[in-house]
């Protein structure tokens, strides 16, 4: 059984000791407070020096312990390892996260190099559609194509018009192919399909009984869809025809939106996978992510998981509406998450928190009584800010306030220094947002937004550079 030694300061010692006792971990855990009030102010050199002194007195280590220091401590872990002969790990910034950290849940265990390579191998290909591409210039299309590829798309789908031919389609496909893109065309117009085929397109969407004859001239697979308003019978007829012609194809029984037959649509995919286990299937998710008033991250994770179970070969999506921004990236991350879960034979939990954007994997768990006890150990006037499920707490050695509004709490503080007032106002505003959204709050640390943190940082940098 692993042995852990948790290092903390005198203020947090009691709260941490109670937390470990309540958690009833199936681990050997000892909590030790060094002679420093605020754990975050300890450096690794300070910890190494203190532990070295104490090892020569009443305290000793076997060398088998894993020393866990507070997440906010600065410095290399090497001095502590050298002084103790133990493995050393930097823990989470919030001591309340230590139980999940010790169980390996707080920071998901990374894959081995071999596993990572398998996870990166696409279980299906993502088609990202550029809608109304016929109305865009070549340069606009290339910008979109590169954006989609950078976010995980494998195939760029060129969307045309149902009635108007695509005048520069050959140039678009040729340019995309010259830059290494795989390309599909989404059109019902015979002229566009013939042009795309001559330009070397990789996949044609979509054929039914009305234009099935075009399959004879194609040099690439075509996607088969049911005839308008018909069930799978029309799909079966067309499938049988293409099989006789020995023409490669992909099947798309069409996935309807929620409340309009989504469940039956999934059943159709299941039926086709059972009846034609060797056939390639395409599933379009745009009808789901674009047509519901709900965040796309969870929807994509769910639908990609279903697609993985059904062994879908192609997933089609787009980012037309504002609410669908980022869905290609979300699908790419969900694909890797589901790949790993299926590879390891486990549920996709505590593996990668990138798709948890609004909600957090762990919440705030301090109680008011614990914070009152913490206040008793404080000797300075610096304010500490905490959040639980009901309130925001701000306190120092003489004051203790609780509330739900940053404005109301700030008005109770007598802050004369403008820089300090700005700092506390910003932190209280962040705490209020965390309270409203149920997000984890750690003073001086940014709220977590999953994979969106990358884009938030980019926007901040752009703002700084613009100023």
Tell me the pLDDT tens digit for each residue of 98-148: 888 888 776 666 555 655 665 566 689 999 999 999 999 999 999 999 999
Is residue 25 within 8 Å of 56, Cβ to Cβ? Answer: no
Q: How many other CB atoms are found less than 10 A from the CB of residue 17?
A: 17
Question: 449 with 400, same domain?
Answer: yes
Question: 329 with 435, same domain?
Answer: no
DSSP string, 93-154: SSGGGHHHHHTT-SSPPPPPHHHHHHHHS-SSEEEEEETTGGGS-HHHHHHHHHHHHHTT-S
349 in any annotated domain: no
d(CA 129, CA 212): 22
Say how far residue 31 (Cα) sits from the centre of its chain. Answer: 33
Number of domains composing the chain: 3
SS3 68: strand
Of 38, 72, 102, the one marking the end of a domain is 102
Buried-state track 412-445, b at ≥16 Cβ within 10 A, e below 16 = ebeeeeeeeeeebbebbebbbebbeeebbbbbee
74 in any annotated domain: yes
Both tokens of 426, joined, read: 């910003």
Mean pLDDT of 51-71: 77
Greatest CA separation for the chain = 89
pLDDT value, residue 56: 57
Question: 331 with 258, same domain?
Answer: yes
357 in any annotated domain: no
Confidence band of 317 (pLDDT split at 50, 70, 90):
very high
356 in any annotated domain: no
Question: 146 with 262, same domain?
Answer: yes
pLDDT value, residue 192: 93
Question: 437 with 313, same domain?
Answer: no
d(CA 243, CA 238): 9
110 in any annotated domain: no
d(CA 131, CA 161): 9
d(CA 255, CA 248): 22
Question: 160 with 306, same domain?
Answer: yes
d(CA 413, CA 395): 10
Q: Is 158 exposed, middle or buried (0-12, 13-18, 19+ CB in 10 A)?
A: buried
Mean pLDDT of the chain: 89
Of 56, 75, 102, the one marking the end of a domain is 102
d(CA 215, CA 381): 78
Mean pLDDT of 423-431: 96
Supply the range of the domain harboring residue 186: 119-344
How does pLDDT run across 344-381, given as a tens digit for each residue? 899 998 889 999 999 988 888 788 888 998 898 888 89
- CATH number of the domain at 223, please: 3.20.20.20
pLDDT value, residue 111: 58
Question: 280 with 331, same domain?
Answer: yes
Q: What share of the chain is helix, strand, coil (3-state, %, to 5)?
A: 45, 15, 40
Strand partners, 309: none
Question: 132 with 267, same domain?
Answer: yes
Residue in the block written with tokens 């509004």: 405
pLDDT value, residue 289: 92
179 in any annotated domain: yes
Question: 123 with 93, same domain?
Answer: no
Question: 312 with 408, same domain?
Answer: no
DSSP string, 334-397: HHHHHHHHHHHTS-SSSS--TT--SS-SS-----HHHHHHHHHT--S---EEEE-SS-EEEE-S
Q: What is the pTM of this model?
A: 0.80
First vs last C-alpha separation in the chain: 55
37 in any annotated domain: yes
Confidence band of 245 (pLDDT split at 50, 70, 90):
very high
Question: 135 with 187, same domain?
Answer: yes
253 in any annotated domain: yes
Question: 95 with 128, same domain?
Answer: no
Mean pLDDT of 16-45: 84
More confident residue, 391 or 60: 391
Of 102, 132, 153, the one marking the end of a domain is 102
């Amino acid at each position: 059984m692993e042995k852990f030694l948790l290092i903390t300061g005198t203020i947090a010692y009691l709260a941490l000791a109670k937390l470990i006792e309540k958690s009833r971990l199936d681990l050997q855990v000892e909590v030790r407070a060094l002679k420093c009030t605020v754990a975050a102010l300890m450096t690794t050199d300070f910890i190494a020096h203190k532990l070295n002194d104490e090892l020569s007195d009443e305290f000793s280590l076997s060398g088998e312990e894993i020393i866990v220091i507070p997440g906010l401590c600065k410095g290399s872990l090497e001095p502590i390892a050298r002084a103790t002969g133990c493995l050393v790990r930097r823990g989470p910034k919030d001591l309340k996260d230590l139980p999940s950290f010790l169980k390996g849940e707080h920071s998901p265990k990374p894959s081995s190099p071999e596993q990572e390579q398998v996870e990166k191998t696409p279980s299906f290909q993502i088609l990202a559609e550029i809608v109304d591409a016929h109305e865009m210039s070549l340069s606009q299309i290339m910008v979109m194509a590169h954006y989609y590829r950078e976010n995980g798309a494998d195939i760029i789908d060129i969307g045309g018009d149902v009635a108007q031919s695509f005048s520069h389609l050959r140039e678009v496909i040729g340019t995309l192919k010259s830059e290494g893109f795989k390309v599909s065309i989404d059109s019902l117009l015979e002229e566009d399909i013939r042009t795309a085929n001559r330009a070397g397109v990789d996949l044609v969407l979509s054929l039914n009984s009305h234009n099935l004859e075009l399959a004879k001239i194609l040099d690439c697979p075509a996607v088969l869809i049911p005839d308008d308003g018909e069930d799978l019978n029309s799909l079966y007829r067309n499938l049988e025809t293409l099989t006789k012609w020995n023409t490669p194809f992909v099947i798309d029984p069409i996935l309807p939106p929620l409340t309009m037959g989504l469940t039956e649509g999934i059943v159709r995919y299941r039926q086709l996978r059972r009846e034609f286990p060797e056939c390639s299937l395409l599933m379009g998710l745009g009808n789901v992510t674009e047509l519901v008033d709900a965040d796309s991250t969870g929807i994509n994770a769910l639908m990609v998981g279903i697609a993985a179970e059904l062994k879908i070969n192609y997933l089609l999506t787009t980012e037309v509406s504002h609410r669908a921004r980022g869905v290609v990236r979300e699908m790419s991350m969900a694909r890797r998450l589901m790949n790993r879960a299926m590879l390891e034979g486990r549920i996709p939990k505590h593996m990668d928190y990138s798709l948890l954007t609004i909600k957090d994997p762990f919440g705030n768990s301090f109680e008011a009584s614990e914070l009152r006890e913490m206040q008793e150990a404080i000797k300075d006037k610096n304010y500490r800010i905490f959040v639980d499920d009901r309130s925001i707490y701000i306190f120092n050695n003489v004051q203790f306030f609780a509330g739900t509004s940053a404005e109301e709490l700030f008005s109770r503080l007598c802050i004369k220094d403008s820089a300090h007032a700005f700092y506390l106002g910003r932190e209280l505003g962040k705490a209020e947002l965390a309270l409203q959204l149920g997000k984890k709050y750690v003073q001086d640390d940014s709220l977590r937004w999953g994979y969106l943190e990358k884009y938030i940082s980019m926007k901040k940098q752009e703002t700084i550079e613009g100023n």
